[in-house]
Structure 1
Amino acid sequence: MPEAGQRPTPGGFLSRARTVAPPTWSRWLVPPAALSVHLTIGQAYAWSVFKSPLESSLDLSGTASALPFQLGIVMLGLSAAFGGPMVERNGPRWAMFISMICFSTGFLLSALGVATGQYWLVVVGYGFVGGIGLGIGYISPVSTLMKWFPDRPGMATGIAIMGFGGGALIASPWSTQMLAAFGTGTGGIATTFLVHGVVYAVFMSMGVFLVRVPPAGWLPRGWAPAKAATHALITTANVSARNAIRTPQFWCLWIVLCFNVTAGIGILEKAAPMIQDFFANTAAPVSAGAAAGFVALLSLANMAGRIVWSSTSDLIGRKNMYRVYLGVGALLYLTVALAGDSHNFVFILCAVGVLSFYGGGFATAPAYLKDLFGTYQVGAIHGRLLTAWSLAGVLGPLIVNAIADSQAEAGKTGPALYTTSLYIMIALLVVGFVANELIRPVHSRFHEPQVAEQGRQDAVATGRGGS
């Protein structure tokens, strides 16, 4: 009990009230807090490092060794969708803490599963428990960053989500080195998982301690919201997560994200064999080492696109940015299909462009949601939008792999293995382009009456009327 004259402490350490920043707090400390989480959970893109060791040591098929990753991506979308309202209600520190516990526990359960020969524990640990950590962690800093950076929401979310794209650049060589040191048998894999769980928990705790939310009425120094340019798509009201999914705008953007991700992840998942197959019949076939370099280049494009294109969207608007992702992306796929194996540099440049749009689409989505629905429950809305990723994560690889397998069985080689897939991706991007064109301002009937007036005040305070 507090002594007489003292004010009671508002909640525990993880509560939103305990994360309100003091007046002298620098907003530039928040992106590093977000990065500490996203760089960690971005390890998911490096799961392939463990596939071959697991297949050899536990006698698994390629399909079985992919289960933890696939379940993790599905749980990312589902946990983000169902956990979004709790993230909004409890604040970013609580969300980052839950993400840290789930993601690290997933590795510890996986270590136990490998050590005891119980592969189902790896699937449950990394895929289910760790996947919940992926989803909660992915959305944990979104609304907070946009409140700290009302003048540059695309840039702010791009910085954080860039970390998810770049996490594999750290995790892949680190995991490879540990497997080389500890061994690729069950003992070495278990030890590697154990180290991951402990080290990632320490790294993510930096974000838990560092993250803050801005105090009421806070504005960036020298920024005048009243002078910010207005745009028809940027709302001055607020829409709840419950109402957002009832709007055609949400589902149009869901289609946009789903098909943009499908087009990118189809290449990303099969990048190395794809470039080798494409130029197998030429005078200069692509070696395994060059294919690995191509994968690394695509990872860099994925990461860079998240900050470059999302920042560009602050200047040209979200709708125009997605016109580039979808329209230019379709043209890049068409160029690859028409060029065939005549020019490998054309293939590489187009693939880099597509993957940069893939990453940019992820990073720009939260700012697009903020424009359409306001900052009220934007994290929860973002979580529900990410179910599009869950479907795309299955759809993209399925299209590319199934068609390539069927074409190979028919005796075809080279670009013919992928031509049909390329035209399907073009069609999907065109559908996404049309869906983006159909997005209009959200009708006032979806606005929250109890926060409508607060929304107008927030528009003045945070500049939601600016673009």
Structure 2
Amino acid sequence: MSDFFSKSRITAKPGYNRWLVPPAALSVHLCIGQAYAFSVFNNPLTRIIGVTESAADDWKLTTLGWIFSLAIVFLGLSAAFGGKWLEKVGPRLTMFVAACCFGGGFWVAALGVCLHQIWLIYLGYGVIGGIGLGLGYVSPVSTLIKWFPDRRGMATGLAIMGFGGGAMIGAPLSVWLMDVFKSASSVGVMEAFLLMGAIYFVSMMIGALTIRIPPPDWQPANWTPPLVADKMITQAHVHIDQALKTPQFYLLWLVLCLNVTAGIGVLGQASVMIQEMFKGSVTPAAAAGFVGLLSLFNMGGRFFWSSASDYLGRKNTYFIFLALGAVLYSLVPSMGLIGNMAIFVLLYALIMSMYGGGFSTIPAYLADIFGTRYVGGIHGRLLTAWSTAGVLGPVLVNYIREYQIAQGVAKAEAYNVTMYIMAGILVLGFVCNLLIKPVHEKHHMKHDDFDELDGIYPNTQKEAS
């Protein structure tokens, strides 16, 4: 069994078509992207006992809100600690464990619904499922970067676009399953959890079974690595532990954290925000459509911007995110004051495209700076910036809004200060990105280190694309 999961078993033979790898990555990311759609379960979970309406002993929304928060926290933690393990054992075993955790998390959560024990849902979807999220998120990304050294941005965009689009499958699937299983005595959540756990486990296992890794230092045919003159793309490798000793890691951590903080804060309040800023003009249904539009731009931006970064350069792409984003956030209050809803929606669509693009571009940025050999593990540790931003963003938006309203500011204007603060956060991120330089050669691995650290000698090979 251990041989079945070994890296040697999944190393591609000569002539393997590298375009078979992105579907394997997508089969995992489209599953774990369901996390963005978990909110569709919140209202039914408040009626587990009452069924038609909440009973006295039913859970409150504030209690249920911790499920998603726990999942994101454990996504970051598992990615940070599991990334190094991924580089050691390879993507097949990591994706298998991710499938067991994510699918199994649904089943444990279903037990929690059946017994009406919220701690079991926290444990199942929040902790166990969150671990599956983290391992599933990082496992295909490093593999794609190694298969597409000539198109790193496009490759990571393909996979991470799936995570952004997973909610578009997960939300209607969840609602449909609950409708199928609901009855006079059940809202259908438990049954939906059980079936979704099985569906996602099978889909993620398809990815685990079909994933392949290239031979060490494989290169596409007729491709020449970038000239050494392009100092922002290294030809060397930095070990995962050594990366933590470089200023570049922490600057990139801040860049990702600040970009995500600005985006995730307003994403969670998008529906309420547009209704309050254009009071009487936007119905709840129209606000839901606005959120759906933002999701489309979030998903599309993940592929568009990461692909564009192959031509613009990763550092320049982040300059666009941070500089243009600061300008767009600064313009939002004006659009609300003059009542220009069309421009308001356009501004937010662009902001969300760059929010998604920040996620998909960062793995390629890491590969440029630290090399590809340990990029999966380094990326995993950098994702703790996402966990941090997942707390900072909503806290800033929610508490500043509450403070503004308590001071007598109209709801329609309660987000103005927040938008200016978000713009300032992006300016700070711009400065951090400006400070990023190539890693000093003292941090680079020597050829003798490869055998000592992971048993792999450099062995340049070229295959057909």
TM (normalized to structure 1)?
A: 0.92
Partner of 1:66: 65
Whether 2:283 is the aligned partner of 1:287: answer yes
**Do structure 1's residue 420 and structure 2's residue 411 form an aligned pair?**
no
Tell me, yes or no, if the aligned pair for 1:78 and 1:135 is still in contact at 8 Å.
Answer: yes
Q: How does 1:114-153 map to 2 (within 5 A)?
A: 114-153=113-152
Alpha-carbon offset, residue 349 of structure 1: 0.7
- Matched residue of 1:219: which SS? strand
2:386 is the counterpart of 1:389: yes
- Aligned counterparts of 1:306 and 1:35: Cα–Cα separation in 2: 13
**1:296 is aligned with what amino acid?**
G
Superposed counterparts of 1:359-374, under 5 Å: 359-374=356-371
The AA in structure 1 aligned to 2:381 is: R
Q: Note if contact 1:40-1:204 (Cα within 8 Å) is conserved in structure 2.
A: yes
1:332 to 325, 328, 331: 328
SS in 1 for 2:214: coil
Contact 2:215–2:461, Cα closer than 8 Å, also in 1: no
Q: Which one-letter code corresponds to 2:246 in the other structure?
A: T
Distance 1:420 1:173 in 2: 35
Q: Is the contact made by 1:30 and 1:212 (CA closer than 8 Å) also made in structure 2?
A: yes
Q: Deviations over 1:366-404 (max 9, x none)?
A: 000001100121111000000000000011111111112
> Pick from 367, 376, 381: which aligns with 1:379?
376
Deviation at 1:181, TM superposition (A): 1.9
Please say if residues 447 and 458 of structure 2, whose CA atoms lie closer than 8 Å, have aligned partners that are also in contact.
no
**Partner deviation per Cα, 1:160-185 (whole Å, 9 max, x = no partner):** 00000000000001111111221286
The 2-side partners of 1:415 and 1:232 are apart by 48
One-letter code aligned to 2:98: S
For the residue of structure 2 that corresponds to 1:154, the secondary structure is helix
Q: CA deviation at 1:459?
A: 11
Q: Of residues 333, 343, 346 in structure 2, which corresponds to 1:346?
A: 343
**How far does residue 205 in structure 1 lie from its aligned partner after superposition?**
1.1
Correspondence for 1:99? 98
- Structure 2 match to 1:212: 212
1:117, 1:439 → 2: CA distance? 50
Counterparts of residues 4-403 of structure 1 (less than 5 Å): 11-57=2-48, 59-183=58-182, 186=186, 188-216=188-216, 218-225=218-225, 230-280=229-279, 285-342=281-338, 343-403=340-400
Q: What displacement does 1:323 show?
A: 0.3
Q: Work out the CA distance in 2 between the residues paired with 1:305 and 1:165.
A: 9
User: Aligned partners of 1:308 and 1:94: how far apart in 2?
Assistant: 30
Aligned letter for 1:181? V
Distance 1:344 1:180 in 2: 35
Change (3 A) 1:393 1:453: closer
Maintained 8 Å contact 1:85/1:380: yes
Compared CA separation, residues 157 and 169, structure 1 to 2 (3 A) = same
Displacement after TM superposition at 1:319 (Å):
0.3
1:451 to 1:240, Cα distance in 2 relative to 1, 3 A = farther
Give the aligned residue type for 1:176: V
Which amino acid in the other structure matches residue 330 of structure 1?
A
Q: Over residues 110-157 of structure 1, what are the superposed CA-to-partner deviations in whole Å (9 max), with x where a residue is unaligned?
A: 001001111110011000000000000000012211111010000001
Counterpart residue type for residue 206 of structure 2: M
Structure 2 gaps of 5+ residues are 50-57, 452-456
Percent identity of paired positions between Structure 1 and Structure 2? 52
Shift of 1:60: 1.8
Q: Aligned in 2, Cα 1:442/1:290: closer, same or farther, shift over 3 Å?
A: same
Distance in 1 (alpha carbons) for counterparts of 2:181 and 2:262: 37
Deviation, 1:408, is 2.6
Q: Distance in 2 between matches of 1:376 and 1:214?
A: 12
Pairing 1:442–2:439 present: yes
* Matching residue's letter, 2:315: K
1:449 Cα deviation after fit: 3.0
| Larger displacement relative to structure 2 (148-157 or 52-61) | 52-61
Query: 1:339, 1:229 → 2: CA distance?
Result: 46
Using the alignment, how far apart are the partners of 1:446 and 1:118 within structure 2? 50
Q: Is the 8 Å Cα contact of residues 218 and 461 (structure 2) preserved in structure 1?
A: yes
Deviations 1:197-243 (A, max 9, x none): 00111111110111001124533233233x76841111121111111
Distance 1:214 1:460, change over 3 A: closer
Which secondary structure state, in structure 2, belongs to the residue aligned with residue 17 of structure 1? coil
Q: Secondary structure at the match of 1:140?
A: helix
Moved over 4 A (4+): 184-187, 227-230, 450-454, 457-462
Give the equivalent residue in structure 1 for 2:52. none
Whether the 8 Å contact between 1:47 and 1:69 is mirrored in structure 2 is: yes
Distance 1:411 1:293 in 2: 30
Aligned mates of 2:39, 2:407 — CA distance in 1: 29
CA RMSD, Structure 1 to Structure 2 (Å): 2.0
Aligned in 2, Cα 1:297/1:458: closer, same or farther, shift over 3 Å?
farther
> CA separation in 2, counterparts of 1:436 and 1:219?
29
- Shift of the 380–217 alpha-carbon distance from structure 1 to 2, 3 Å rule, reads closer
Q: How many residues align?
A: 448
The equivalent residue for 1:6 is: none
Aligned to 2:55: none
CA distance in 2, matches of 1:276, 1:443: 51
Local SS of the residue matching 2:134:
helix
Q: Decide whether the 8 Å contact of 1:277 with 1:413 is kept in 2.
A: no
SS in structure 2 at match of 1:323: helix
1:337 CA drift (Å) = 2.2
